Amino acid sequence: MQPPDARRDGRVNSLLVSSPSPYVVNVRDLVHRPGEMRERELDFGAPEKLGEGAASVAAGEPVHIDLRLEGLHEGVLATGEVDTVAHGECVRCLDPVTLDVQVDFQELFAYSPDEAFDFVVRDDQLDLEPVVRDAVVLSLPFQPVCRPDCPGLDPVTGERLPDGYERPVEQDIDPRWAALEGFRTEQDSNEK
Ligand SMILES: [Zn+2]
């Protein structure tokens, strides 16, 4: 719940260092209570861009997380499903692409630092940021396309190719090979 005067434009003021990360959840009521379970929903605008590739989740993009927190003997198990939207550019035709991102994660946050666990409970809190970031970034395509059969652009004219267009495969011989072809023919005929 946000107060009515909360910023609604999703922008992040980098000077507000003390403002808590929306990825941080308090688990005081679960700590050292094995068997206890809580479900929470987190909704916030991404404080920072997620992903550096051809598709990414922009800063300010709404992020929804269905979160389940379970107290275990060695720590708190966080299981979640992230819903957000990534934007990119079709690698074939350069049209903007919007991708629904829906990705699961599960991570144990240990009570004591231990080499077996990558994450720990600090001050009765879990910082889900690296876990969510990894899950989201790994789910983003390296080469987004606007649709699987996008024909792309004509390499010569730069115009969009018609639907169903099939690139001619090795129909046009590279000029360097063409020259070689001629050379070989000449040589062959000389030998005769
Ligand atoms: Zn395309």
Q: How many angstroms is it from 155 CA to the middle of ligand 1? A: 14
Do the bridges between strand 96-110 and strand 119-120 make them parallel or antiparallel, or are there none, so unpaired?
parallel
Give the integer Cα–Cα distance in Å for 164 and 157: 18
Strand, helix or coil for residue 191: helix
pTM exceeds 0.85 for this model: no
Q: How many angstroms is it from 57 CA to the middle of ligand 1? A: 19
Give the integer Cα–Cα distance in Å for 136 and 156: 36
Cβ 64 vs Cβ 46: under 8 Å? no
What digits encode the pLDDT tens for the residues 113-159? 877 889 999 999 999 999 999 999 999 999 999 999 999 988 888 88
Give the integer Cα–Cα distance in Å for 129 and 158: 41
What digits encode the pLDDT tens for the residues 10-40? 444 444 455 689 999 999 999 999 999 999 9
Q: How many angstroms is it from 102 CA to the middle of ligand 1? A: 22
What are the structure tokens assigned to 81, written together?
A: 């499903």
